A and B are shown apart, each in its own frame.
Chain A
């Protein structure tokens, strides 16, 4: 369950006591409710599910863990050459 994808907030506004943002997914944009990510600002990436942002992507964490992934792989490639 839970089709939710990352998009970037390009603008945000209050409408009627709720916070909405225009979020860009690749080449399309759509309104999403930002009530659940009060800390998210324009430029941030959020994960959006049925028109609601449910988390703000922690860019640093994502970067760090992705780097680990890349390095793990590289190391194994090296080791692999010895007949792993």
Chain B
């Protein structure tokens, strides 16, 4: 498959690895903030390839993991209402809320359906005019333009039975929070390539300047990530703190203007609670007032559901990259993908799940198991 297979070429990977190893003179701590990138890194064993001097820490890059607990509870509440067709992306079905999850709602008789695209949810609404159709619109900035289009189109068509439960989270505020922690050890970031496809990377330039930390916008295939790591290492070795773009085939500095326009017509920026981390100012999207008729929270009166954020726990530390999954005493014993204790173990993109599924046989260098 073009633009995919070439970026998995083992021979080129070997060369990149050799170049990385050649360029490193001291230990460095790098972070990627994207579940999809975590997935690739762990699946191909890239940390093992690049050597012990580079430590890869997985950031809060899984929108499933960081979706606030109260939003999951709201989703469960709405999905449990008789007659409602609740449409969600697959990843969200297994995420535990305070007392249940969407799979269990389905088991108890709720009409919960998986969709690949928000347009599928719209279609269901058109085909079932007598029933309320609710779409669970989660994701980072990447998914926001698509999700916003569902509401935008519903408004244009005057669909009466369609609404969305919106929970978007934004990456740069989370990075700022991480960099503000005194305990932060991360020295360089791989910026999320598909988020930047939409948003561009100007926002990261300000971060690089302010915190004197390099960023490289990276793609999702092994060669992309290896190249991004190489560029980061070179910057660090040379004492630079700039924003570079590795993922040029998809990302430009200004991002996708058309996508952002659609998105900002429908959404506005708002404060958000990140599960396992807590509230981050101006770090999410919600529907604008003009779209109130399509806001499931208003339509179903679930705005007041709140869930107490659990006290600081290792989920939070893992999400912030301060601990690794293997540092958790429950990892692989009480906490497994089948019996998750925290969100990073539930989603297959969560750092803990990825580690458990792919890498638990090889203790990462320096970790105690």
**Residues of A in contact with B (beta carbons under 8 Å apart):** 1-6, 8, 17-18, 25-26, 33, 35-38, 45, 47, 49-52, 54-55, 57-58, 61-62, 65-66, 69-70, 72-74, 76-77, 80, 84
Nearest B residue (CB) for A3 = B36
CA distance A71 to B256 in the complex (A): 31
Tell me if B248 and A61 are in contact (CB < 8 A). yes
Nearest A residue (CB) for B142 = A2
Minimum Cβ distance to chain B for residue A8 (Å): 7
Question: Which residues of B lie under 8 Å from residue A61 when comparing CB positions?
Answer: 248-249
CA distance A2 to B138 in the complex (A): 11
Minimum Cβ distance to chain B for residue A55 (Å): 5
Minimum Cβ distance to chain A for residue B301 (Å): 28
Question: Which residues of B lie under 8 Å from residue A73 when comparing CB positions?
Answer: 11-12, 15-16, 19
> 1/0 contact trace for B239-260 toward A, CB 8 Å?
0000000001111000010110
Tell me if A1 and B3 are in contact (CB < 8 A). no
Q: Determine which of B6, B120, B194, B262 lies in contact with A1 in the assembled complex, contact meaning CB atoms within 8 Å.
A: B194
Question: Which residues of A lie under 8 Å from residue B116 when comparing CB positions?
Answer: 50-51
CA distance A6 to B8 in the complex (A): 14
Question: Which residues of B lie under 8 Å from residue A58 when comparing CB positions?
Answer: 248-249
CA distance A25 to B116 in the complex (A): 15
Q: A1-B139, A6-B1, A45-B2 are in contact. Are A50 and B117 (CB under 8 A)?
A: yes
Q: State which residues 321-348 of B face A: CB under 8 Å.
A: none
Please indicate which of the listed interface residues A38, A45, A55 has the most CB atoms of chain B within 10 Å of its own CB.
Answer: A55
Interchain residue pairs with CB less than 8 A apart (12): A1-B35, A1-B194, A2-B35, A6-B2, A36-B259, A37-B256, A37-B258, A45-B3, A49-B194, A54-B250, A73-B11, A84-B22
Tell me if B4 and A54 are in contact (CB < 8 A). no
Question: Which residues of A lie under 8 Å from residue B153 when comparing CB positions?
Answer: 18
Tell me if A51 and B223 are in contact (CB < 8 A). no
CA distance A58 to B249 in the complex (A): 5
Tell me if B19 and A76 are in contact (CB < 8 A). yes
> 1/0 contact trace for B134-173 toward A, CB 8 Å?
0000011011011001000100100000000000000000
Tell me if B3 and A2 are in contact (CB < 8 A). no
Question: Which residues of B lie under 8 Å from residue A38 when comparing CB positions?
Answer: 258
Question: Which residues of B lie under 8 Å from residue A36 when comparing CB positions?
Answer: 145, 256, 258-259, 262
Please indicate which of the listed interface residues B12, B139, B249 has the most CB atoms of chain A within 10 Å of its own CB.
Answer: B249
Q: A1-B61, A6-B3, A77-B15 are in contact. Are A54 and B145 (CB under 8 A)?
A: yes
